[in-house]
Amino acid sequence: MVADVREEVAQIQKIHPQTPLYLAGESMGGAVLILLMAQSEAPRVAGTMLLAPAVWNLGAGADIPLRVLSTLFPRNLVTGRELPVHVVASDNMAALIRLYYDPLTLRATRLEALQGLVALMKQSARAARHIHGPTLCVYGDKDQLVPPSAMAEVWRSMPAHVRLDLVPGGHHLLLRDRNGKLVMQDMLGWMNTPNTWLPSGGDSATAAWLAQGVGENGWGKNTLPLFLPAQMDTLAGP
């Protein structure tokens, strides 16, 4: 996937060499962009926008069982209903319904693909400290798919040039939320005037959130215990 994005960027810049190119990736797409822009020869683009990037080192509690299962039953399907909690990706039910009935939406995933996603999340979390170029990273404090401790640890590792933007009340699918316009305004504001405050107030919200010490306390920080279901309840907040 990283190679595909690199090739697409090269083709676009070849056709439109004078046009500023911004990259935007949501969730897994954000993780892919982190890996791309963390490379020593990252493409030169005007900016990279990461929307709730999938960055999470789940630890041995998830990695070992998934490796075993994906090796033994690579084509077995999982739907998400196997989780002991109900995870909500957005507060916009109309958008979630449209997404559910979209014929392009995958409702089941092979175990081998799930293992690949877990590996991608781990790699991107580790690579975030090396990201190059102007970058905006947006996260909602109601995200139930990427836990706060995982994102906070990645944010603290990122270079100083990365702009951090916390959206209070934001869920994982930030642009589909009922307040998705706030995220779009921040994206446009950052592209047009990168040295001014974000319209949503995300700069101050980020500072206050990190000052609370999110992800700094407790054994294992953002890793999961050996008994995976015991920790899943912490993903789904009120």
pLDDT of residue 222: 43
Q: Which residue type is seen at 135? A: T
**238 within a domain of the structure (yes/no):** no
In total, the chain counts a number of residues equal to 238
- Give pLDDT, residue 84: 57
Q: What is the pTM of this model?
A: 0.85
Q: Would residue 39 count as lying in a domain?
A: yes
Is residue 204 assigned to a domain? Answer: yes
The whole-number pLDDT of residue 200 equals 95
Q: How many domains does the chain have?
A: 1
Inside any domain, residue 136: yes
Q: Name which of 124, 108, 101, 168 is nearest 25 in CA terms.
A: 124
What domain range includes position 89?
Answer: 2-232
Ordered mean pLDDT values, 10 residues apiece, the chain (238 residues): 96 97 97 97 97 89 76 79 74 93 85 84 96 98 93 96 97 96 98 96 96 67 42 44
Q: 138 and 162 in contact (C-beta within 8 Å)?
A: no
Q: Domain for residue 166, yes or no?
A: yes
Answer whether residue 45 is part of any domain. Answer: yes
**Residue 76 in domain:** yes
d(CA 196, CA 201): 11
Query: Looking at residue 217, which CATH number applies to its domain?
Result: 3.40.50.1820
Rounded Cα–Cα distance for residues 51 and 54 (Å): 9
Residue 237 lies in a domain: no
Are 33 and 120 in contact, with CB atoms under 8 Å apart? no
Q: Name the percent of the chain in helix, strand, coil, to the closest 5.
A: 45, 10, 45
What is the phi-psi region of residue 218: left when phi exceeds 0, alpha when psi lies from -120 to 50, beta otherwise? left
Q: For residue 25, which phi and psi values (nearest 5 degrees)? A: -135, 135
- Matching residue, tokens 């056709």: 15
